[in-house]
Structure 1
Amino acid sequence: MVLEWVWKSLLAVAALLLITVLAFQTGLIADPWADDTRTLHVLDEDSEPKATVEVELADTPMERYTGLSDHDSLEDGEGMLFIHASEGERTYVMRDMDFDIDIIFIDADREVTSIEHARAPEPGEDGEALEYTGQGEWVLEVPRGYANQTGMEPGDEVTLSEE
């Protein structure tokens, strides 16, 4: 009887560990120890800096799905960088957003391809219906107006600091 209880306990612990590892691997749970912030620079054609943004990285499916919807606001110079495995056409929506943003699409060569000025949904409006599409491997979200304020435009180069 005691041996049976020990085996059941070990099996339960092993199952819990497996579920936890899978949750981290799939991005359902973010690594609490991971450094998820970096410094991103937007450079002009002469490689001179136009903007510096402290970005939170969204590089798992769950982080990309949640995005900025769990934020109340962003200050100038703050943002979120969505990292995809490859370049492609990306559509971003304003699901559960409380504030307006600029959505900046960046291709695999780290060049800005387009900039969308996105508004937050109004009360009772479905943010899923507010779609913004562009070509990119990375997508940068910053406070609305920050792209214009700093002079960002298609063709600008983007660099990201190492950890």
Structure 2
Amino acid sequence: MQRPAVAVLGAVGLLVAAAVVLQTGLWVDVLGTGEYEEGTVTVREEAETATATTQTGTAASTPGTTVAVRDGTAGEPLGTVEVRIAQTTTQRYVGLSETASLGPDEGMLFVHDSEGTHTYVMRNMSFPLDIIFIDANGTITTIHHAPTPPEGEQYSEEYPGYGKYVLEVNQGWTNRTGVEVGDRVELPPEAA
């Protein structure tokens, strides 16, 4: 009678461990980023709005835009992500810090007034991110795989990069889609 209970508890333990590895993005550290072919990221304006649940349980809503990733040689779609656009200083400061979670294909596009070196931190974040810096011409210049701040800390280390735009998505999104430095992003007119 005790052997089946031990087997069930062991299976539950393995499932919990697998869920933790997937949720925290630890699999990215274990598997690495790998090699991918160059692709193109296309941003298309959508009429609907993107929403995400804030930590207070309310829905945050800003204009929605779809980011589509395409293979650079075959032009085949690699993935899409629904993003909210952060254009004001306040929107950029708050970013995703008041967001409790994102769906696997949701994120935020930050638009700066000018191209230059910008530094991001994980401020009060409850989930890890990929932070993607994009120059004024739409070329991805830097990708960081940023974990949440250490336990008990409000801020993480700093993540610098050069560009006019920054795309934040769930950690591992760039690995899953094959997006890498040198790929291109086509931006909607309201983000330019």
Question: Normalization by structure 1: what TM-score?
Answer: 0.72
1:35, 1:94 → 2: CA distance? 21
SS at match of 1:149: helix
For 1:69, what is the secondary structure of its paired residue? coil
Shift of 1:74: 1.2
- Aligned partner of 2:174 in structure 1 is 147
- Aligned residue pairs, count: 129
CA distance in 1: counterparts of 2:78 and 2:139, whole angstroms = 13
* Residue of structure 2 aligned with 1:109, choices 124, 137, 150: 137
Distance 1:113 1:43, change over 3 A: farther
Query: Rg: which structure is higher?
Result: 1
1:83 to 96, 111, 114: 111
Q: Distance in 1 between matches of 2:65 and 2:89?
A: 19
Alpha-carbon offset, residue 35 of structure 1? 5.2
Partner residue of 2:146 out of 118, 126, 145? 118
In the TM superposition, residue 149 of structure 1 has moved relative to its aligned partner by 0.7
Match of 1:138 among 154, 165, 171: 165
- One-letter amino acid matched to 2:162: Q
Separation in 1 of the partners of 2:69 and 2:114?
A: 20
Per the TM alignment, residue 110 of structure 1 is displaced from its structure 2 partner at its CA by 0.5
Q: Work out the CA distance in 1 between the residues paired with 2:152 and 2:115.
A: 34
Q: For 1:53-72, list aligned pairs within 5 A.
A: 53-72=81-100
Gaps of 5+ in 1: 1-33
2:138–2:187: 8 Å Cα contact kept in structure 1?
no
Alpha-carbon distance in 2 for matches of 1:156, 1:126: 32
Shift of 1:95: 0.8
> Per the alignment, in what secondary structure is the counterpart of residue 136 of structure 2?
coil
Is 1:100 aligned to 2:139, yes or no? no
> Could you say which residue in structure 2 is the equivalent of 1:37?
64
Question: Whose strand fraction is larger, Structure 1's or Structure 2's?
Answer: 2
Shift of 1:162: 6.0
The one-letter code of the counterpart of 1:72 is A
* Consecutive unaligned residues in structure 2, runs of 5 or more: 1-60
Q: Which moved more, 1:59-68 or 1:113-122?
A: 113-122
> Matches of 1:45 and 1:143 in 2, distance apart?
23
Q: Quick one: structure 1 residues 67 and 86, their matched pair in 2 at CA, closer, same or farther if it must change by over 3 Å? A: same
The CA RMSD measured in Å over matched residues stands at 1.9
Contact 1:90 1:136 in 2 (8 A): yes
Amino acid in structure 1 at the alignment position of 2:100: D
Identity of aligned residues (%): 51
Q: CA deviation at 1:80?
A: 0.2
